[in-house]
Amino acid sequence: MKGIATNFRVNGGPCRIDAPAECTLLDVLRGTLALTGTKRGCDVGECGACNVMVDGVVVRSCLTLVAELARCEVLTIEGLGSGFTPGGVQQAFVDAGAIQCGFCMSGMIVAATGLLARNPSPTVDEIRAGLAGNLCRCSGYVKVIEAVLLAAARGRAQTA
């Protein structure tokens, strides 16, 4: 099967992928690039476990074709921080006790990061709307909302 060469950036670094036209970003992230923080959930764009950001917009990587990414910037959960230095939203999720089994959390954290980039002071209703489509069987969402509020407050304190 002939591949399509696509050049884009992942977490700030250059990436060139030669892949079949039907190859998804999720497949490339997890398989080719070994960025396994992005989770494979439903594979139909319903659960949000595979959320990443493309050019600052939260997308479902299971529905995004690599061939569509020419010259785009992709940001995954790994690009938001590391195990030794988590990003602000990641740390807020830990501090608020929002992490349960962890399966859906990378997608949830990416979605929360996108929300806070658009709206640094969201209300609870705006957080609920911003995270709609991110399914979690463990958390009950209360701690997730608290984590986003905490990340927002910390972000505002850093800019003050």
- Sequence-ordered list of residues with C-beta below 8 angstroms from that of 115, at least 6 positions apart, any chain: 122, 126, 127, 130, 131, 148
d(Cα 113, Cα 23) in Å, to the nearest integer?
26
**Complete edge-to-edge strand list for the sheet that includes strand 51-54:** 13-19, 4-10, 73-75, 51-54, 57-60
| pLDDT 10s digits, 39-80 | 999 999 999 999 999 999 999 999 999 999 999 999 999 999
Range(s) for CATH 1.10.150.120 in the chain? 88-159
Give the CATH class of 4-79.
Answer: alpha beta
Judge whether residue 21 has pLDDT over 70: yes
Written as one letter, the residue type at 83 is G
- Per cent of the chain over pLDDT 90 is 85
CATH fourth-level superfamily of 88-159: [2Fe-2S]-binding domain (1.10.150.120)
Range(s) for CATH 3.10.20.30 in the chain? 4-79
Judge whether residue 128 has pLDDT over 90: yes
Judge whether residue 4 has pLDDT over 90: no
Judge whether residue 139 has pLDDT over 90: no
Q: What is the DSSP string of 17-51?
A: EEE-TT-BHHHIIIIIS--TTS---SSSSSS-TTE
Exposed, middle or buried by CB within 10 Å (0-12, 13-18, 19+), for 73? Answer: middle
d(Cα 38, Cα 57) in Å, to the nearest integer?
16
Beta strand pairing status for 57-60 and 13-19?
unpaired
d(Cα 17, Cα 5) in Å, to the nearest integer?
6
The pLDDT value given to residue 158:
85
d(Cα 18, Cα 111) in Å, to the nearest integer?
28
Tokens of 89: 């939203």
Three-class DSSP category at 141? coil
